[in-house]
Structure 1
């Protein structure tokens, strides 16, 4: 969900923990999954130490019928365990599966519109509301927001490249980092030259009314580290983990391994059949190398998958 990252080398912004007290709002993106639990557990400890626990707003992005059953309720339970404010956001209109049918295509690794449309966009709408709340409370300046997520380097090559702490730069952001980048990018455009990759301010969530930074508290953690934090938190785990799933993503994520998809089809035959019907209707395969019909066929002819050790591949 993070975009337009810029590393900041400023006082109070070390590589480990940002200056939490410098933010008006701290948004904790919680999915109900193990990384989300570990992130929230870690964030709460630091927020308590900084005396800013009341600034945390937990947000769950509701993907509708694409989610595992009970996910939204579990996320609410996790926020309530710490006495934190809980918000649910969702894209206006149909849910993710409805949108797949409407678009006539599934997302893929190179075109992850599910993330931009159903996750990043709704969370930015929440940021807009929080900015207004801060202004109504008497904050006349730019509202500072820290967007916190449980992304880990171990999960994928793309996430390995993310910085644990960064500024979400944008063309309309007036900060001392974004303005020079915008000027240079505009100079390139004026000369009809391509803006170098990473040379512009980016397309992050910052703007003239809000300064947004992003923090991944568990970015360098291993899976064992995460599970240790989950146990320490005492928060309830989703039943999907007990059934052998390694992640609590969408029931059928296009980035998941074949074995994870087969297990999900064994656990969720109804939603799998719906995907297969949509696949047939729109004439677009769930994945280029794997159709939902093939996933279902394998799920029906093979013994129950006990556990999935690898999410991708």
Structure 2
């Protein structure tokens, strides 16, 4: 299968690219290389004849049209997005432009390609989204594919809008669209503005590890390589018009997650004095911070046969070990604007 992957130099996208090439798929990686898109993330496949990189912005409709004509993909995996909630509070316009207008451009370019191919039955447009579109849960319950949308941040609102566009292109035009909504990802190559890598790297630098509120917010954590496996399964076997929730069965409070990271670092790289937990500091909560996310992945398990393979304890150990072994990757990123400082304050 020839797959056009948008955002393939980002965190989740690069995991998809690496796994797809390893499984023998041809991959065209389309990425604008904004601050979080790094060519280093796909360096291991850069010389593979199955791989091709195209630097282009999904907000550029003409460029997307040219890429579809040039490469004639069998499927699209659309991951390109602005994704950091805090940055969406400071600058929502970028999220509207990329996540909504960019998705519209991709759908239209894909539809034109699909029509040129004679409405190929096997073609798929796989739109990858987030559980944040569902809003916030109480102490009980799980998000299912039938949960009403209730986004609370500019980021989640823009992703909800893109989901609605993808569904509309299926119902109105017949474009073979498959959707997935995932829980929080973590693992290697995670950009250091997000909670887990920020906690690891701040601890290693002897800096404060900021935790919002009292750290009571709950997330379901999904190891990124498990997610990549689910995404490839969905693009290969997913039913057009169907959506699939992808979760890790790994709910944890933020404070418990940070404690676990600190405890791993105490073993892997002990401090001369004290423990890494000493760096934890509670900071004022961000606006509209959802209390709890939890995904029910029963549909993708039942219909496509997927299930996560990594527990959060195993995944955190893998992740901490990766950051300890790859300082050459993360050290330059500390100079990127917004990394290491708090954003999203109103």
TM-score (norm 1): 0.37
- Structure number with higher strand proportion: 2
Taking CA–CA contacts closer than 8 Å with sequence separation of 6 or more, which of the two structures ends up with the larger relative contact order? 1
